Structure 1
Amino acid sequence: MSSLSVRDVMSTGVVTVAPDLGYKQIVDLLVEFGVSAVPVVDGHRHVLGVVSEADLLHKVEFNGADVHARLFERRRHRLAKEKAAGETAESLMTAPAVTIGADATLTSAAQLMEHRDVKRLPVVDDEGNLIGIVSRRDLLRRYLREDAAIRADVIDTVLRGTMWIDPIEVDVTVTGGHVTLAGTIDRRSSAQIAVRLIRALDGVVGVTDDDLAWGFDDTSTRLSHAFDA
């Protein structure tokens, strides 16, 4: 069944910086390439951290202020001051970086971004070396499929290929990624499984099955064992 992974949507031409690159040079790179953050990598492209616009703005936030950390300051405020005093990528970066593998699902990438409150994830191989980067915008690419391609996937992959349901029994229409099903399937459980599988297809934003009926409601049947164990 069609299912995109991080590898399918990530960008491979990643702008990176070395740990000793200066503040101004980092700003110049962000402006030149139109990105909001850059991974910090060593000579083997191992990801050490990420420098974002937010990290760089601490210097503006504390411009002219005392940036020396005080003993009883809140940790977040103290770290912001430390970054405001930083002059290289190593002292400015957020570390360790939140990374993800190329074979991870888009769902797991989205959940990780939400949980860790980040807008992008460096993509690494098994050794932790950078091979790409995936952003929130990249995750939305799964919804760019044409309606005709989604409909073909529903019919060929789910109904005919997985459920062994004759497509002539079910009318499938797709509009703006929303799938509408009508017709009759032999069992209610089969209808429920088909709907779940369709929801998981790339490009599907929703499924309406109000007009999908079934010949036998096997979900309410309770079978008793003929023999006791």
Structure 2
Amino acid sequence: MQGMKISDFMSRHPVAFTPNESIESAVERLLQTQQRGGPVLDEHRKVIGFLSEQDCLAAMLRDTYHKEQTATVSDCMYRGEVLCVGADEAIADLAQRMEIGKPKIYPVIDMDTKQLVGVISRTDVLGAIDSYFQDSYRRR
């Protein structure tokens, strides 16, 4: 299983956001793609934050209460250190990190340029591990 890389199972076309995008637009894209959140990128495609469904829900509830619709992704996104992974890292290593309650979605970056190349979710990792076991069962 150590030979299985993140790049083999990641989504190469993830939903990603810009800081100035409206929260309504971000929510619409999350709903269309059924992604639970996504990285926020600067003009160089580097990860500067993360916007989750929970962030959007809080913003929309607040805006509804105040009867406003002015929030941007920048107003709502997580601004701390976003945990990212490299495309060449092993799925097994990421699975171990995910086991202890870290994020459900990791941005995948090119380790040289630090630019976004995809995302990988717990569901993707679970599918990778399942495919490994399915292959093992077939070989028996």
One fold, TM greater than 0.5?
yes
C-alpha separation between the residues in 1 aligned to 2:101 and 2:38?
Answer: 17
Query: Could you say what secondary structure the match of 2:49 adopts?
Result: strand
Amino acid of the structure 2 residue aligned with 1:5: K
Shift of residue 114 of structure 1?
Answer: 3.7
**Cα distance between partner residues in 2 of 1:56 and 1:105:** 31
Look up the match of 2:120.
134
2:65 aligned with 1:64, yes or no? yes
Q: Check if 1:121 corresponds to 2:95.
A: no
Inter-CA distance 60–41: structure 2 relative to 1 (3 Å threshold): closer
Amino acid at match of 2:88: D
Indicate the structure with greater strand content.
1
Contact 2:2 2:92 in 1 (8 A): no
> Does the CA-based 8 Å contact 1:113-1:120 persist in structure 2?
no
Alignment-derived partner of residue 111 in structure 1? 96
Per the alignment, residue 78 of structure 2 pairs with 94
Q: Distance in 1 between matches of 2:137 and 2:58?
A: 49
Q: Which runs of 5+ in 2 are unaligned?
A: none
Distance in 1 (alpha carbons) for counterparts of 2:7 and 2:119: 9
Q: Conserved in 2, the CA contact under 8 Å of 1:12 and 1:131?
A: yes
Aligned residue runs from structure 1 range 198-217, under 5 A: none
Structure number with higher relative contact order (C-alpha < 8 Å, ≥ 6 residues apart): 2
SS class of match (1:11):
coil
Q: Within 1, Cα distance between the matches of 2:61 and 2:44?
A: 34
Contact 1:122–1:130, Cα closer than 8 Å, also in 2: yes
Q: Kindly provide the CA deviation profile for residues 12-38 of structure 1, in whole angstroms up to 9, marking residues without a partner as x.
A: 011211110011111111112221112
Give the match for residue 13 of structure 1.
Answer: 13
Aligned CA distance change for structure 1 residues 123 and 19 (closer, same or farther; 3 Å): same
Which protein shows a greater Rg?
A: 1
**What RMSD over aligned residues (CA atoms) do the two structures have, in Å?**
2.6
Q: Alignment identity in percent?
A: 28
The 1-side partners of 2:117 and 2:137 are apart by 33
Corresponding residue for residue 48 of structure 2: 48
Aligned to 1:143: 130
Deviations 1:56-77 (A, max 9, x none): 1113555538xxxxxxxxxxxx
The 3 A distance-change label for structure 1 pair 61 and 109 is same
Q: Hey, what's the Cα distance between the residues in 2 that align with 1:87 and 1:41?
A: 17
- Cα offset, 1:151, TM superposition: 6.3
Count of residue pairs the alignment pairs up: 134
Q: TM-score under structure 2 normalisation?
A: 0.80
Contact 1:86–1:92 (8 Å) recurs in 2: no
